[in-house]
Amino acid sequence: MNSKQLIVKMVFDRWYASIKNWDALLNVITDAQLEKEIAAGKNRGIYLLGHLIAVHDDMLLLLDMGDKIYPQLHEPFLRSTDKTIAQIPSAKELRANWTEQCAVLKQKMDHLTPEQWFEKHTAVTAEDFIKEPHRNKLNIIITRTTHLAYHTGQLVLLK
């Protein structure tokens, strides 16, 4: 295993462990618990779920893997704060969206070679990438893993 393969493996071991941690927690939290605020005046669990789906949907664009699956979730879960949109999808629908999105991301990610993970993502120009080669596709996975772990820590407060 060369260095790039090793680095990619390490990052994806953490990514999939974080997905597994979120899934395990989501599987024991009821829909009623998802409707509760993490803390007084803060986001509800259902908002966090929708937010993660919307963020992970953006990954498809950033990684140049196609269009979003759930573009309708951008407005209520990325552009708006919790409880400012009157109608959002149900917990049941969001749970199904999460499962589908994880499967689609995995299928698309599995097709990239270690070398491709070190290529630029779509939010960086070719000129900037020459100066900042760390702005690559693998770095998107690293930042999204941290983001997922952060929200998992919040969701645990609903148990």
- Do residues 52 and 155 lie in contact, with contact meaning Cβ atoms separated by under 8 Å? no
CATH number, domain of 12, equals 1.20.120.450
Rounded to two decimals, what is the model's pTM? 0.96
Range of the domain at 27: 3-158
Counting the structural domains of the chain, the total is: 1
What does the pLDDT look like over 91-149, one tens digit per residue? 999 999 999 999 999 999 999 999 999 999 999 999 999 999 999 999 999 999 999 99
Q: Can you give the pLDDT at residue 126? A: 97
Beta-bridge partner residues of 120: 136
What is d(CA 128, CA 124) in angstroms, rounded to the nearest whole number? 6
What does the pLDDT look like over 9-63, one tens digit per residue? 999 999 999 999 999 999 999 999 999 999 999 999 999 999 999 999 999 999 9
Please, which residues have CB within 8 angstroms of residue 19's CB and are 6 or more apart in sequence?
Answer: 102, 148
